[in-house]
Amino acid sequence: MNRRDFIKTAGVVTLGLMLDGQSFVEARRSLDMKISAVKLFDGGFMMKTFACGGGLPAGAIAEQKLRSSLQNYVIDTGDEIILVDTGMPAETEFPVTKDSVITFGDKIANYVDALRAAGYAPEKVSKILVTHKHPDHTGELRAFPHAKIFLSRIEADDMGLTGDNVVRVDFTDGAYKNFPACQKIADGIFYIFAPGHTKGNSIVVVEAGDKFYMIHGDVTYTDEALLENKLSVANEDMTAARDTLNKVRAFIKENRTVYLSTHTPLGYESLDAEKIMVLPDVDEAPAAETQSDAQEQVSGTVWVCSVCGYEHVGDAPPEVCPRCKQPSTVFTRK
């Protein structure tokens, strides 16, 4: 190539970038995008019957202890700091009993301190995306009075949230890939309706570089459930949960996805390793999977299990959560 041809070619490349300025900016932004784990608890366990038992009959899943933890995630777009969930209320204690089916392990830090440890000052947070209403995902929303809190209208109404900073999301931006309803939050950040675990449950997908980071809340409690195509026992709507798990699995098969879980160290390990999730070919859902525990519909004080989201109505919380077997101390008033 002579000098004149070189200049001509270089000019075309530059012009191409300028003509396509929008995608150039987006490409730069997506390379700046950084996701970090906000680590709250580690070294716990969950029983496989809890994480993978769904509506299956007793004995269908072999009893086995799987690793457990609790972490949420923070997205740094280069322009703003966006949280996905805000951990447990700082004051909640988790005693381990002989019947515990899930524990989070030892506390690393309260949410706000854990966020600082991840490198972010709480006052810099501009938005919070809430996957669902459970206390281990909404515990410290109160610590961010100046951030915009996005959550599905169903969850916001269910929690009775008020305040000018609460954005009730109706998912009006149409489909995202194979999910029918999403809301675009920022360039490359999508808040997606994915009901089942709770009726207004949502997930977050972050596009960065050539990868998709799926921050899914509690669609599965552990990655083993995703790999084996099994639901947990803790779903408000088992039919919707099955549909969501099917969609999550179909998405992962089609897109290079890093699967970021809340309740297993596999979540932050996958993030650290930038591990692309590869699913074995288990497409059949378990045949006997049905709604296992329809919850009582009576009026009175509602108590919510901080571990599995079980709701109990009465003057006092139950002595033991009928679903996850935690003691009454983990129940909070709704």
Q: Which residues bind Zn ion (CB under 5 A)?
A: 134, 136, 218, 309
Q: Closest Cα to residue 114, out of 268, 258, 305, 260?
A: 268
**Nearer CB in complex with Zn ion: 77/331:** 331
State the minimum distance, in angstroms, from the CB of residue 273 to Zn ion: 23
State the minimum distance, in angstroms, from the CB of residue 282 to Zn ion: 24
Euclidean distance between CA atoms 295 and 291, whole angstroms: 10
**Nearer CB in complex with Zn ion: 77/232:** 232
**Nearer CB in complex with Zn ion: 136/289:** 136
State the minimum distance, in angstroms, from the CB of residue 221 to Zn ion: 7
Q: Which residue has the tokens 């703003």?
A: 80
State the minimum distance, in angstroms, from the CB of residue 134 to Zn ion: 4
**Nearer CB in complex with Zn ion: 134/247:** 134
State the minimum distance, in angstroms, from the CB of residue 108 to Zn ion: 16
**Nearer CB in complex with Zn ion: 218/289:** 218
**Nearer CB in complex with Zn ion: 208/215:** 215
State the minimum distance, in angstroms, from the CB of residue 85 to Zn ion: 8
**Nearer CB in complex with Zn ion: 134/249:** 134
State the minimum distance, in angstroms, from the CB of residue 191 to Zn ion: 17
